[in-house]
Structure formats: C-alpha cells, structure tokens
Amino acid sequence: MSVVSPDLLRRFDVPGPRYTSYPTADRFVEAFTGEDYAQALAQRRTGAAALSLPLSLYVHIPFCESLCYYCACNKIITKHHDRAAPYLRYLGREIDLHVAQLGAGQAVTQLHLGGGSPTFLSDAELRELMAMLRRSFSLVPGGEYSIEIDPRTVDAARLALLAELGFNRLSFGVQDFDPDVQKAVHRVQPAAQVFELMEAARAEGFDSVNVDLIYGLPRQTPESFDRTLAQVAQLRPDRVALYAYAHLPERFKPQRRIAAAELPGGGAKIAMLSRSLSAFLSAGYVYVGMDHFALPGDALAVAKRQGRLHRNFQGYSTQPDCDLIGLGVSAIGRVGASYSQNAKTLAEYGDLLDQGRLPVVRGLALSRDDLARRAVIMALMCQGQLQFESVELAYLIEFRHHFAAELEALKALADQGLVELDDTGIQVTASGWFFVRAVAMVFDRYLQADRNRARFSKII
C-alpha cells in the first residue's frame, strides 16, 4: 500500500465522526429512556438474536489518580481508592437488572474494561468485578477480553493477575515517549517502564498488546515524534492506535490547562501523520484502517485480509457484529435497533439504580433509513467496499434511487482516486482507505443536514 501524499492529507484535514456507531452518539435523545432500553432487552430475550448472537460487554471504570490534560473521556480524578467499592456495588445492581431482562448465562465473546483507568481498581476489586461478570454471563473460550492500562498503575505482578482473570488483550496508554511532551500534558511515564511492562506481558502470553499514541500534543514536533515512533517500532506492540489530538477546551475542561501556543501547527501535524504512516508501514505493520495498525499475524490484520473486520464503540474488532451491553457511568450500549447511554454522573447513575431502574438517560431507536445507512457506512468502514444488491435485498430499497444524491457526491472522491464506482457497487481504493471516514461521511444524513462538524476530531 502506497503512503499518501502530504497534499492529500492537507485536503482532508477536516473534522468528522469516527463512526463507532451510526447514527453517532451526538444524535442520542433524552426521549429514549430506561424503559425503552428494557423493552429492547426483552425483545432480545424473546427474539432470534438470543439464540444466535453472542453479547459484547463494555464496563466503564471512571476513576483516575491524576489528570491528563488532553483527556476527553468521562472520568473522576481522585486518590481516594475507597470510592471504588461502592461503585462496584452499583455495577452489581446494574448487572442484576440486565440478568432480570435477559436471563443468566448469556454467551459473551467480547469484554472490554475502559475508563478512566480500570487499573485504578485493586487486585481484590478486579477479582470481584470479574467474578460478578462470570456469575451472570458466560465468557466463551476464545473470546476477546481486553483492558485499558495506565502503565503507571501496574507492574509485572498485576499483569500476571490480569492473565489469571482471563484477560488476553492489553492496551497501554503511551501517547508520547518524549519527556517534555509528557510534562506538558501532565502524564510522566518513563519509556523504560513501558518496555519492562511489554516484556512482562509477552512472558505472560497475552494474545495481543496495543499501544495508544497521540499526535498534535503540546511541544510535539515532527522530529520529536519521529523519536517516539522509533521507540514504538523497537517496542513492537501487536497493534498501534494513532490518534489526532482534538483541542476542544470549550467542551473538555482539562484541555484548558494546555497552552494553545505550545500546540503544533497544522503543517507540523500533517508531517507527523505522514511520517507515522511511513514509519509503521516500513516497520512491517498493516494499516488496518483509520488510526489502527497491526502486525501481519495479529488477529486484527488477519480479519482485515479476510474481510471479517467489524466496528463497535471500542473501534475495529475481530468479533462478529453483536449486541453490546454498556455497564457503568456514561457507558454506551447497542441492543437490536437501538442505542442507549447511561447517566454521566455518579450521583445520577447511583440514584437511578437506588430506585431499581436501569440507569439509561438517553439513546435512540433507529429508523429504517438509519439501519440502511448504518449498513452502508459499516461496509465501507470495515470492508472498504459495498455491493448495492446486498443493501437492496436487506432493506427493500432501490439503492441508486434512495442514495442518488450520495452517489453524485461520491463522484468528487472518485475523481481524486479515493473510490471507484460502477453500476454494482462502491470500492474504496488503496489510497482511499486512509480517508475512509470521508467516504462514509457522504452517507451520513444527519451530518450532511447540519454541517456542524466542529465537535468532531479531524478525520486523519
């Protein structure tokens, strides 16, 4: 796969959704309540999905010991670890409410602990959480069980515990190895510490270890980021997630502590991205899509080659398309033709559970048009191609009529060599794969209607 030109990267340096769902979470409405979500769960229990589709679980642990200035996650900064125990009790109540709707022992093929910092929990609390989940659900052998890790909160012994608890995938938050950048974002972690943890993780036999990086942070330069890229190539994680920093201090209060004057300019960011693409491809990584790279033998790269990629709220996945149960404060779920999100504050989350109610405060019931567009967008985002006939048969529409305006808009991308169009379908080209979000955006009815994209990160 050829590396795209800086000129093309500049041309598509625009905001856009990540399409971990369609419609995107900013379209959720408060008219969708916990009662609507309970109905979706009940329909799953009585419908065919309960017999054939496994579940995916996401558990949000909001606590962090210290504040990272770039962070846009829902988190609670505290050094008081005693706050975790009551939170686990509420998680237990939420799990029980799900079991009451779904029945016990539902098969689960994917579990992800995110945050915050899930490793804020003590060893005993991690054991308690996993025991709760195993009592209520059936974690299938061979599933994908992952956890996000703040390297500052673990050592080799904790990694051994995670392996014992059944986790087979780890994600280390690195962001940048440069000490000056780390100081600017209030996240100091020596590179040697991460290298030691990687060695320990390999000794434990984890199936896959991911490293998160961010470009566009304060005090970063293309040259300083080159050094981080070289260290990551030496570290050789199985997967790399490379994110663009979106500076939105009006939305995310922690970012107000970042000096805007220290942020790299647009040209420097484009250079970092271009050089990152070259560095990872030269190091033997496969470009999976958007901001993900993987070694050729990793399950994600294999799924890409075999056309089995899927996408959910955690990004690209090897697991088949399935319902997702979101547990914990602010967690998002998808059941059937609906999305739901829990209360974003601990107080409201706990209050709803104290009333014996599911803590859902907003969501969306998808229309027939939403479902058809979701199928189109996910086919483009995951397989890089779409056959009109498959959508026509599934949703009883005439594709070229229903999406006439979209197909007309795609011609501009075709002229730039990003897609190929014919009478039967759409094919994303090798260079177009780097800009697949721009292709998907053409089919986003909500986005095309309001053009208010400033709330999204850049698409590259």
Our separate counts of H helices and E strands in the chain read 18, 19
189 is in an annotated binding site: no
72 is in an annotated binding site: yes
Contacts 24+ apart (CB under 8 A), 400-408: 402/372, 403/376, 403/443, 406/442, 406/443
Could you identify the residue written with the tokens 């409201």? 348
Could you identify the residue written with the tokens 């943890």? 197
212 is in an annotated binding site: yes
180 is in an annotated binding site: no
**Tokens in use for 95?**
């799990």
Instruction: Give CA–CA dist 427/410, Å, rounded.
Output: 11
Instruction: Give CA–CA dist 451/311, Å, rounded.
Output: 24
**Tokens in use for 177?**
């190895």
DSSP 8-state class, residue 337: T
175 is in an annotated binding site: yes
Instruction: Give CA–CA dist 417/242, Å, rounded.
Output: 24
246 is in an annotated binding site: yes
**Tokens in use for 305?**
């080659």
Could you identify the residue written with the tokens 């780097």? 434
322 is in an annotated binding site: no
Instruction: Give CA–CA dist 292/241, Å, rounded.
Output: 5
**Tokens in use for 269?**
């960011």
In 3D space, the residue among 119, 133, 63, 121 whose CA is nearest the CA of residue 91 turns out to be 133
Tell me if residue 331 falls in helix, strand or coil: coil
**Tokens in use for 165?**
């608890």
In 3D space, the residue among 350, 381, 315 whose CA is nearest the CA of residue 114 turns out to be 315
Instruction: Give CA–CA dist 204/196, Å, rounded.
Output: 13
Q: Please state, in angstroms and as integers, the Cα–Cα distance from residue 263 to each residue in 6, 260, 269, following that order.
A: 19, 5, 9
Residue ranges of the annotated binding site for [4Fe-4S] cluster are 64, 68, 71
Residue ranges of the annotated binding site are 58, 64, 68, 70-72, 115, 148, 175, 187, 212, 246, 332
Residue ranges of the annotated binding site for S-adenosyl-L-methionine are 58, 70-72, 115, 148, 175, 187, 212, 246, 332
